[in-house]
Amino acid sequence: MSPAIAQDPSKQAIWEIESTHPDKTEPVDKALREVIDPEIGMNIIELGLIRNVLFDEENEKAKVTMVMTTPFCPYAPALLEMARTKVEETLGVTTTIEMGMELWDLTYMEEGAGADWGLF
């Protein structure tokens, strides 16, 4: 039996959109939950892959920062494009996506998401 992985509160992303446009946060979160990592079978929110969502209403644009579960994820291009498209459709503005360079680990996962793996 492997030891449980404790979640680290410092590894929870705080999206800029939460403070600038709190009414947009829930629709964006819901849309991004539709993007499923095909290897793991979990959505990118549960996995904690979205690091930031910035909504610039004045200039009609948004920016998403996302990390991958592995540095050479074969699905990275598709996952990045699906996330970008979901945010663009939800907010109705041109959206860019940036792949963050920080490493992902299991403690980034949403609380309870690792239960199926016996981690939390």
CATH of the domain at 69: 3.30.300.130
Residue 109 lies in a domain: no
Q: Is residue 33 part of a domain?
A: yes
Q: Residue 88, SS3?
A: helix
Beta bridge partners of 95: 62
Query: How many structural domains compose the chain?
Result: 1
- Separation between Cα atoms, residue 9 and residue 53, nearest integer Å: 19
Residue 113 lies in a domain: no
Start-to-end CA distance of the chain, whole Å, equals 13
Residue 14 is predicted with a pLDDT of: 83
Indicate whether 2 belongs to any domain: no
Rg (CA), the chain: 14
Q: Which residue range is the domain that position 83 belongs to? A: 9-101
Mean pLDDT by 10 residues, the chain (120 residues): 43 85 97 95 94 96 96 93 98 96 85 63
111, part of any domain:
no
